[in-house]
Structure 1
Amino acid sequence: MSNAMRGAYDADPVIHWERDETGWKLVDKRRGCEYRSGSQLDPAEPTDSAFLGRLPRPDGNGSFLAIAGIHPNGSLGVIHLLASEIATLWGQVGDRRFSCVVGVEYDPQSGEPVRAELASALYRHEDT
Structure 2
Amino acid sequence: MPILVAAAGPRALRLAARKADIVTLAMPVQASEDQLAAKLDELYELAGDRFPQLEINANLAAVGEDLPPWLLRQIGGEPRGTGILTGSVEEMAETLRKRRDRLGVSYVSINAGYMEAFAPVVERLTGT
**Structures share a fold, TM > 0.5?**
no
- Which of the two has greater strand per residue? 1
| TM-score w.r.t. length of structure 2 | 0.28
Q: Which is greater in Rg? A: 2
| TM-score w.r.t. length of structure 1 | 0.28
